[in-house]
């Protein structure tokens, strides 16, 4: 098994340029493919997840041309109804990319073609039944090829008609995102307005705000009543904005902001700022509550340790920052008191069961952890962190990146570090660049004999 050994480090200080946002990159790629006209996409994230979307769209016959390193030109297929792709029959392997699998399920359910969608074994354990049920309400023809309610899926042409789609909001916000993106294709001459109604609590609302904002960039305005009812007038269609830039990834920013708060700082991240459209930007507010010194600019954020030198535990509802909240779980190891992260049930259906995985790995470091259905309580050890712990990452990129922060308190081995390629292939190189070695421990370095530089 490949691994990376991180020695104890002293201080974090420097500037990091963020990779593009995964959530924005895959949404924009799909919206560009569905639009009328040509879209130039700049600063697109280069990662496994975006590669899955690019491959899938190319297989479907969408014309995509790479202009530069992070610059792509997409020729949209148009917003006609019924929706059709040039390729009407395809098998699509989508890895473990939820931001690809869920939206493509909705889009292809409304297309007049024959498609099979599959992924890695973990993807086949992630529920999709609520999305499928909602699409069936408007005539989609979707069959489960394995366990009921889970991928893989077979999609055939359905008798698509406008109407109301009802979906639970407390499993994954990606279901609602997928449904919103196909609303413009449910056009009708009848007096029936295509509508989505959300039942129960809607989790991860900032991701829905992000979806709506990006749809607006492509010419479609979503009307919503509170967080319960969403509609799109039937005369709207996607039109290319000609050129779009992808913001830096706010979830990825969390690791470096936390490094500044734990390791002294200042650490400045560039690529997002105070006006970011991403919900995870509010991770900085959580660090402020813990006592960190946070500064904002138009296109940067900077974090330093508290003037007192010590972070304080917090009790936080994390519905608004579901991904970045993982970074808080490891940051809690360096805070005084009991940190409680609430409303994180969505962790259970991510790349791994993140609540169980986080609890298991934090305990290896000497922390006391209480795990609930939708919360974690973390109490750091009374003394030092356990040295030389071996952290398993469960093929989950965020586990690997979060636990790199342990090196501010103890040497640590992280297994399967190449899983970061899902969203941030050169994460450990960027992390090493802001680390100032602890003189007593020697220079921070990546052991290239045990870790493939990606």
R_g (Cα) of the chain, nearest Å: 22
Residue 139 located in a structural domain: yes
Domain span at residue 390 reads: 3-19+247-437
Tokens describing residue 172: 């994954």
Active site residues: 323
Helix axes 48-59, 98-110, angle to 10 degrees: 20
- Of 226, 260, 295, the last residue of a domain is 226
CA end-to-end span of the chain, whole Å? Answer: 16
Distance in angstroms (rounded) separating the CA atoms of residues 388 and 254: 24
Q: Quick one: pLDDT at residue 437?
A: 65
Distance in angstroms (rounded) separating the CA atoms of residues 26 and 178: 12
199 and 276 in a single domain? The answer is no
Q: Quick one: pLDDT at residue 54?
A: 98
Distance in angstroms (rounded) separating the CA atoms of residues 262 and 281: 18
Beta bridge partners of 143: 154
Tokens describing residue 453: 């530089």
Residue 209 located in a structural domain: yes
29 and 11 in a single domain? The answer is no
Residue 341 located in a structural domain: yes
Residue 187 located in a structural domain: yes
Q: Quick one: pLDDT at residue 235?
A: 82
67 and 165 in a single domain? The answer is yes
Q: Quick one: pLDDT at residue 441?
A: 47
User: Splitting the chain (454 residues) into consecutive groups of 10 residues, what average pLDDT does each group show?
Assistant: 90 95 97 97 96 98 95 90 90 96 97 96 96 97 98 96 92 96 81 88 92 97 94 90 96 97 97 92 97 96 91 96 95 97 94 96 98 96 95 96 97 96 95 78 39 34
Q: Smallest Cα–Cα separation from 367: which of 325, 409, 400, 427? A: 409
222 and 279 in a single domain? The answer is no
Residue 37 located in a structural domain: yes
CATH number at residue 361: 3.65.10.10
Tokens describing residue 281: 């930007």
Cα angle, residue 230 at apex, residues 344 and 35 outer, rounded to 5°: 100
259 and 208 in a single domain? The answer is no
Tokens describing residue 362: 């934090």
413 and 290 in a single domain? The answer is yes
Tokens describing residue 435: 């680390």
In total, how many domains does the chain have?
A: 2
pLDDT digits (tens, 9 = 90+) for 180-215: 999 999 876 566 788 999 999 898 999 999 999 999
Ranges assigned E (strand) in 375-420 = 375-379, 389-391, 412-415
215 and 279 in a single domain? The answer is no
Distance in angstroms (rounded) separating the CA atoms of residues 57 and 114: 15
204 and 251 in a single domain? The answer is no
- Of 226, 261, 289, the last residue of a domain is 226
Tokens describing residue 180: 């919103």
281 and 164 in a single domain? The answer is no
Binding-site residue numbers for phosphoenolpyruvate are 22, 98, 126, 174, 354, 398, 422
Residue 452 located in a structural domain: no
Distance in angstroms (rounded) separating the CA atoms of residues 124 and 383: 41
8 and 84 in a single domain? The answer is no
Residue 450 located in a structural domain: no
9 and 76 in a single domain? The answer is no
Residue 297 located in a structural domain: yes
Q: Smallest Cα–Cα separation from 305: which of 263, 256, 257? A: 263
35 and 153 in a single domain? The answer is yes
Q: Quick one: pLDDT at residue 442?
A: 42
Q: Quick one: pLDDT at residue 447?
A: 34
Q: Smallest Cα–Cα separation from 108: which of 59, 48, 64? A: 59
């Amino acid at each position: 098994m490949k691994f990376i050994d991180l020695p104890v480090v002293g201080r974090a200080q420097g500037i990091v340029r963020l990779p593009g946002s995964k959530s924005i990159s895959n949404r924009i790629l799909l919206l560009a493919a569905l639009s009328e006209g040509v879209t130039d996409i700049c600063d697109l994230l280069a990662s496994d997840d975006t590669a899955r979307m690019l491959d899938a769209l190319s297989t479907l016959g969408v014309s995509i041309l790479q202009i530069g390193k992070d610059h792509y030109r997409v020729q949209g297929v148009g917003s006609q109804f019924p929706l059709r792709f040039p390729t009407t029959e395809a098998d699509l392997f989508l890895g473990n990319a939820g931001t690809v699998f869920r939206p493509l399920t909705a889009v292809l359910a409304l297309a007049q073609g024959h498609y099979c969608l599959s992924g890695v074994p973990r993807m086949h354990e992630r529920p999709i039944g609520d999305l499928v049920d909602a699409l069936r309400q408007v005539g989609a023809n979707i069959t489960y090829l394995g366990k009921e309610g889970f991928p893989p899926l077979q999609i055939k042409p359905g008798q698509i008609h406008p109407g109301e789609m009802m979906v639970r909001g407390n499993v994954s916000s990606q279901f609602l995102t997928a449904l919103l993106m196909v609303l413009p294709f449910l056009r009708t001459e009848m007096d029936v307005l295509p509508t989505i109604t959300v039942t129960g609590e809607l989790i991860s609302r900032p991701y829905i705000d992000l979806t709506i904002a990006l749809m607006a960039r492509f010419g479609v305005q979503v009307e919503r009543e509170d967080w319960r009812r969403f509609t799109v007038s039937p005369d709207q269609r996607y039109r290319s904005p000609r050129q779009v830039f992808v913001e830096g990834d706010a979830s990825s920013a969390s690791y470096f902001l936390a490094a500044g708060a734990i390791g002294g700082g200042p650490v400045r991240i560039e690529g997002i700022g105070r006006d970011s459209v991403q919900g995870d930007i509010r991770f900085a507010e959580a660090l402020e509550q813990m006592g960190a010194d946070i500064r904002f600019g138009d296109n940067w954020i900077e974090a330093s340790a508290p003037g007192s030198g010590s972070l304080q535990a917090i009790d936080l509802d994390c519905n608004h920052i579901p991904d970045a909240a993982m970074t808080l779980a490891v940051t809690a190891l360096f805070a005084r008191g009991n940190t409680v992260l609430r409303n994180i049930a969505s962790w259970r259906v991510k790349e791994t069961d993140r609540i169980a995985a986080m609890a298991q790995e934090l305990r290896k470091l000497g922390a006391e952890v209480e795990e609930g259905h939708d919360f974690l309580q973390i109490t750091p050890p009374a003394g030092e962190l356990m040295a030389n712990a071996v952290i398993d990452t469960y093929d989950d990129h965020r586990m690997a990146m979060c636990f790199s922060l342990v090196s501010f308190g103890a040497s640590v081995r992280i297994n399967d570090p190449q899983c970061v390629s899902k969203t941030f292939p050169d994460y450990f190189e960027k992390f090493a660049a802001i680390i100032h070695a602890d003189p007593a421990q020697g220079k921070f370095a990546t052991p290239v004999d045990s870790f493939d530089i990606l």
